[in-house]
Amino acid sequence: MPESLPRGPELDKRKAYILTTIVYEYIATAEPVGSATLTQKYNLGVSSATIRNEMAELEARGYLVQPHTSAGRVPSDTGYRTYVDRLMPTESLASEESDRLRIEFARAGRAIDEIVEQATRLLSQYSQNLAVVVAPSRDRQTFRHLQLIWLADRSVLMVAVTTAGVAEQHVIEPLVDVDPDELTRASNALNRSLSGKLLAELDRAAVADALAETEPPLHASLIDGIIAGFAHARRPEERRILFGGAQHLLDQPEFRDFKKLRSILDLVEEQRTLYNVVLDSIERGESTPSVRIGGELELEDVSECSLVAIPYRMGDRSLGVLAILGARRMPYGRMMALIAATADNLSQHLTDVELP
């Protein structure tokens, strides 16, 4: 075991520049970068031999990796991480591109699902990578209106509307006949006391409280049905994940290998794992893109991938997450600018269509 060399901030200016250039070049070409390439294509002012010495040290310090003895160097997770955190210039979208994005966004209608689907499509299209989108959480939505609809003597349809639109319909089958007037009274009572609360708050106690003073009292089986309906509407564990643009993976040379491709597609199919990783990527309240590189994902078989994620909002509530999953060798600056712009557009649209 060689003595561990210092890591971290002590990269002198030249080493930093060399690392930057290698990451840049490798992202562009997908080929390991050699010392000669660097001196030829970039103005370094020193010979390739000097670069070789520097590269050897960068490798010893863990920023670079050599695929095999007679190849150039490739950035390691640490190399990319340093690049992303400290070396990379901040990019923003060309105004033309950001205009186009905004216009295409406007094409989606006013339905939440449609808007989120459009976001997925656009994100994958513009990023040329796999887009992963966690659909709006239900329990963070604000309850707006309840309607109990009489279907038959022992059959009631409960429709719960949040400010994001209809969240839930649920058939209740009470043990006694109910009549429409009774249902109207119950609906009104619930609307009066619960309107404006988060779905997450509408538990058994809240519903029972709201209905406590109804005269004549509702039958317990109907109340239970309403409670079950809210519980079902809330269920935070089952959130849909949308995907788009899997075919772009085929364009990356790193996925010209069926095993790697397979592990990504399996991940997509499984959903659960990816769901957790995407949520993990978002620190509470952070509204800048979070980046996880290669091994940082802590997923087997996808150490060749990176994930860029950012939350989106409706009003001031964070509802879900956008993410880009792609080769570790991705243009991080562009991806971060793109996903931030997409999240902005999405949040803006969702906020616009929120019910009063």
Nearer to its own copies, 114 or 280 (CB): 114
CA 209 to chain centre: 37
Work out whether 261 is an interface residue with its own copies (CB under 8 A): yes
Nearer to DNA, 5 or 71 (CB): 71
Please pick, from the candidates 60, 71, 220, 355, the single residue that binds its own copies as defined by CB under 8 A.
355
Nearer to DNA, 72 or 174 (CB): 72
Closest CA to 274 of 234, 248, 246: 246
Q: What minimum distance in Å lies between the beta carbon of 300 and DNA? A: 24
Nearer to its own copies, 165 or 315 (CB): 165
Q: What minimum distance in Å lies between the beta carbon of 105 and its own copies? A: 17
Please pick, from the candidates 31, 266, 298, 301, the single residue that binds its own copies as defined by CB under 8 A.
266
CA 191 to chain centre: 33
Q: Which does 166 bind (CB under 5 to 8 A by kind): DNA, its own copies, none?
A: its own copies
Q: By CB under 8 A, how many residues form the interface with its own copies?
A: 34
Q: Residue 309 has which token pair?
A: 């994620």
CA distance 101 to 139: 29
SS3 content of the chain, % helix, strand, coil (to 5): 50, 20, 30
Q: Which does 356 bind (CB under 5 to 8 A by kind): DNA, its own copies, none?
A: its own copies
CA distance 79 to 173: 61
For the range 220-228, what are the long-range contacts, defined as Cβ-Cβ under 8 Å and sequence gap of 24 or more?
221/174, 221/175, 221/176, 222/156, 222/172, 222/174, 222/176, 222/178, 222/186, 225/156, 225/158, 225/170, 225/172, 225/173, 225/174, 226/148, 226/158, 226/172, 226/186, 226/190, 227/203, 228/170, 228/172
Q: Which does 157 bind (CB under 5 to 8 A by kind): its own copies, DNA, none?
A: its own copies
Q: Which does 71 bind (CB under 5 to 8 A by kind): DNA, its own copies, none?
A: DNA
Please pick, from the candidates 29, 47, 53, 247, the single residue that binds its own copies as defined by CB under 8 A.
247
Q: Which does 59 bind (CB under 5 to 8 A by kind): DNA, its own copies, none?
A: DNA
Q: Which does 174 bind (CB under 5 to 8 A by kind): its own copies, DNA, none?
A: none
Q: Which does 331 bind (CB under 5 to 8 A by kind): its own copies, DNA, none?
A: none
Closest CA to 299 of 274, 324, 280: 274
Work out whether 197 is an interface residue with its own copies (CB under 8 A): no
Closest CA to 279 of 139, 137, 140: 137
CA distance 302 to 326: 10
Q: Which of these ranges, 25-33, 43-51, 126-134, 147-155, lies near its own copies under the rule CB under 8 A? A: 147-155
Residues binding DNA (CB under 7 A): 31-37, 45-50, 52-53, 55-56, 59, 66, 68-73
**CA angle (323, 17, 302) in 5-degree steps:** 30
Nearer to its own copies, 39 or 271 (CB): 271
CA distance 51 to 128: 33
Work out whether 155 is an interface residue with its own copies (CB under 8 A): yes
Residues 6+ apart with CB under 8 A from 89: 333
Q: What minimum distance in Å lies between the beta carbon of 319 and its own copies? A: 17
Binding residues for its own copies, rule: CB under 8 A, are 109-111, 144-145, 147, 149, 151-152, 155, 157, 159, 161, 165-166, 169, 171, 232, 244-247, 250, 256, 258, 261-262, 265-266, 268-269, 353, 355-356
